[in-house]
Amino acid sequence: MTRTLLLGQTLAFTANPFNAWPDEATRHSSRGGVLIDGGLIVDTGEADALRTAHPEAEIIDYGDALILPGFIDTHMHYPQTGIIASWGKRLIDWLNTYTFPEEMRFSDPAYAKQIAERTLDLTLAHGTTSLTSYCTIHPESVEAIFSAAADRHMRIIAGKTCMDRNAPDGLRDTAQSAYDDSKALIARWHGQGRATYAITPRFSPTSTLEQLQALGTLWAEHPDCLMQTHLSEQTDEVAWVKDLFPDAKDYLDTYEQAGLLGPRAIYGHAIHLTEREIARIAETGAAIAHCPTSNTFIGSGLFDLPGLIARGIPVGLATDTGGGSSFSMLRTMAAAYEIAQMRGTSLHPAQLLWLATEGAARTLHMQDMIGTLEPKSEADLTILNLASTPPIAQRSSRAETLWEALFPTIMMGDDRAIRAVWVSGKPV
Ligand code: GUN
Ligand code: ZN
C-alpha cells in the first residue's frame, strides 16, 4: 500500500482548550505534514522530518492551507435537508408545518436514498466527515443513510426516530414496533464498517412513557449503542413535557425514569435546564449537542456553553439541519461564538475548533477513531484555505498569529474555504 504524505499547516490538540491556555493546548506547525496509510494516520509532525523519514511516500502539498481533522456534526436530521430554511415558525409549529409532512415522504426508499446521498455530499463539501443523524420512523430511512455513508466510507451515527404520540397519522410507530425495528436495525448496522447505531426517541412529547421504557430496555441490552434525543430546547416545549409527565421531577427525569440517561446519551439543545438537571447530566457523564444556528433560527434561546463546560459536561457542536440554517460547521462555530458573546464570553478559535473536532468526538466516545491527527486515528481530514474569499483574504493577510489567520475563516467561511476533504485515507 502506498503511503501518502499531506503537507500544509497542521494544528493538533494536546489538551482540552477549555482547561488550558489555547497555545498550551495546541501544537501548530506552519510547515507540517500528516502521513496516511491504509485509511489511518500513521504520523503527524514537521514536513521536512516526515519527508526524510518516509522518502517513498507520495506527496500532496497543500501549501499554507490548514490540515485539520474532519469536522464532526453531533446532531442533525438528514431527512430535513429538503426543508432547511423554512420561514416563520417556532419549534412545535415548525415541526407540524414543515418537518412532519416532509418526514412522511421517507416511507419511500427511493426518496430516502436521494436525500441521504444529497445530505452526505453536501456535508462532505462543507468539510464534515462524520455526522450523527436522526432518521424518520421508517426503517427504510435508516437503511438509506447507513448505505449512503458506507458507499462514501464515512463514519456515521444514526438511528430510527421513534414517536408513538403527538405526531400525524403515518408518522407514528408503537412502543413494541419501535423496540423491534430499532433492535433489527442494530443487528443489521451497529458496528458494521464505520456505522454506529444511536437509539433515537425523538423527544418526550412524541413518546409515551411506555415507548421511552421500551427504548430504555433496548439500550440496556445494547449498552455500546449511543442514545440521542432532544432536551429543553424551547420553554413551551418544557411546559408541555410538564403537562404530559406530571409525575416526573423535570424534563430530564422523563428520560431517566425510562433508563435513557447514561454516559453514551447525547441530548440536543439543553438550553432551559434546571440546576438539578445540570447536576444529573454532569454526574452521569452524558453529553450535550450544541446547535447554535438552530437555536437562533427557531428562536429557542442562548445556550450556556461556558457554564455547562465548567461543570464538566462534554459538549459537541452540531448543525441540527434543517432546524439549523446551515450545513457548515464553520458557520456553526461562528454562531456558537455569537451566542457566547451574547452571554458575555468570547470563545477562542481553538475552543471553537475543539467543539467541532476532538471535543465532538469525545461526546460520541470516538476520540480514539476520529477528531484528531494522532497516529492510529482514522484518516478523515479537512483542509482549510484561510484566504477563500476576498473579505477573508484581506483580513487574514494582516494576521500575526495562526489564530488571527484562522478566525476570519471561522466567522465568514463556508464551503469555499474547504480546499480538500479526505475520508478513510482517500480524497473525496
Ligand atoms: N425537537 C423534536 N424534534 C425536533 C427536530 O426535528 N428539530 C429540532 N430542532 N427540535 C426538535
Ligand atoms: Zn434536532
Q: How far is the CA of 394 from the centre of ligand 2 (A)?
A: 36
102 CB within 6 A, ligand 1? no
Mean pLDDT score across all residues of the chain: 98
**Mean pLDDT on 349-378:** 98
Cα–Cα distance, 81 to 89 (Å, whole number): 17
Q: Residue 304 in contact with residue 340, Cβ under 8 Å?
A: no
Q: Residue 158 in contact with residue 198, Cβ under 8 Å?
A: yes
Amino acid 307: pLDDT: 97
pLDDT in tens, 129-150: 999 999 999 999 999 999 999 9
Amino acid 119: pLDDT: 98
Q: If pLDDT is split at 50, 70 and 90, which confidence band does 406 have?
A: very high
Task: Name the residue of 78, 80, 99 whose CB sits within 8 Å of the most ligand 1 atoms, as the mutation to test its pocket.
Answer: 99
Amino acid 2: pLDDT: 83
Judged against a pLDDT cut of 80, whether residue 329 lies above it is answered with yes
C-alpha cell belonging to residue 333: 462555530
Classify burial at 85, counting beta carbons within 10 Å of its beta carbon; exposed 0-12, middle 13-18, buried 19 or more.
exposed
Amino acid 23: pLDDT: 93
Task: Name the residue of 320, 321, 325 whose CB sits within 8 Å of the most ligand 1 atoms, as the mutation to test its pocket.
Answer: 320
328 CB within 6 A, ligand 1? no
Q: Residue 252 in contact with residue 280, Cβ under 8 Å?
A: yes
Give the ligand 1 atom nearest the CA of 206.
2
Give the ligand 1 atom nearest the CA of 294.
9
Cα–Cα distance, 206 to 278 (Å, whole number): 23
Nearest ligand to residue 297 Cα: 1
Helix axes 139-151, 109-125, angle to 10 degrees: 40
Largest CA distance in the chain: 68
Cα–Cα distance, 359 to 353 (Å, whole number): 8
pLDDT in tens, 47-78: 999 999 999 999 999 999 999 999 999 999 99
Would the pTM of this model clear 0.95, i.e. be above it? yes
pLDDT in tens, 159-177: 999 999 999 999 999 999 9
Rg (CA), the chain: 21
Q: How far is the CA of 27 from the centre of ligand 2 (A)?
A: 34
Give the percent of the chain with pLDDT over 70: 100
Mapping DSSP onto H, E and C, the string for the chain reads: CCCEEEEEEEEEECCCCCCCCHHHHEEEEEEEEEEEECCEEEEEEEHHHHHHHCCCCEEEEEEEEEEEECEEEEEEEHHHHHHCCCCCCCHHHHHHHHHHHHHHHHHCHHHHHHHHHHHHHHHHHCCEEEEEEECCCCHHHHHHHHHHHHHCCCCEEEECEECCCCCCCCCCCCHHHHHHHHHHHHHHHCCCCCEEEEEEECCHHHCCHHHHHHHHHHHHHCCCCEEEEEECCCHHHHHHHHHHCCCCCCHHHHHHCCCCCCCCEEEEECCCCCHHHHHHHHHHCCEEEECHHHHHHCCCCCCCHHHHHHCCCCEEECCCCCCCCCCCHHHHHHHHHHHHHHCCCCCCHHHHHHHHCHHHHHHCCCCCCCCCCCCCCECCEEEECCCCCHHHHHHHCCCCCHHHHHHHHHHHCCHHHEEEEEECCEEC
380 CB within 6 A, ligand 1? no
Residue of 371, 347, 369, 348 lying closest to 359 (CA atoms)? 371
pLDDT in tens, 212-262: 999 999 999 999 999 999 999 999 999 999 999 999 999 999 999 999 999
Give the percent of the chain with pLDDT over 90: 100
Query: Which protein residue has the closest C-alpha to ligand 1 atom 7?
Result: 323
Query: Which protein residue has the closest C-alpha to ligand 1 atom 11?
Result: 230
C-alpha cell belonging to residue 183: 433492535
C-alpha cell belonging to residue 41: 494516520
Domains and CATH numbers, the chain: 4-70+372-427 (2.30.40.10), 71-363 (3.20.20.140)
pLDDT in tens, 205-214: 999 999 999 9
Task: Name the residue of 90, 91, 298 whose CB sits within 8 Å of the most ligand 1 atoms, as the mutation to test its pocket.
Answer: 91
Q: How far is the CA of 95 from the centre of ligand 1 (A)?
A: 7
Residue of 246, 248, 250, 300 lying closest to 279 (CA atoms)? 250
Q: Which residues pair with 382 in a beta bridge?
A: 68, 421
Cα–Cα distance, 322 to 201 (Å, whole number): 18
Cα distance from N-terminal residue to C-terminal residue, the chain: 19
Judged against a pLDDT cut of 70, whether residue 1 lies above it is answered with no
Nearest ligand to residue 298 Cα: 1
Nearest ligand to residue 233 Cα: 1
pLDDT in tens, 279-301: 999 999 999 999 999 999 999 99
Give the ligand 1 atom nearest the CA of 80.
6
Q: How far is the CA of 209 from the centre of ligand 1 (A)?
A: 19
Neighbours of ion ligand 2 (CB under 5 A): 268, 320
Amino acid 303: pLDDT: 98
Judged against a pLDDT cut of 90, whether residue 308 lies above it is answered with yes
Nearest ligand to residue 94 Cα: 1
Q: Which residues pair with 58 in a beta bridge?
A: 4
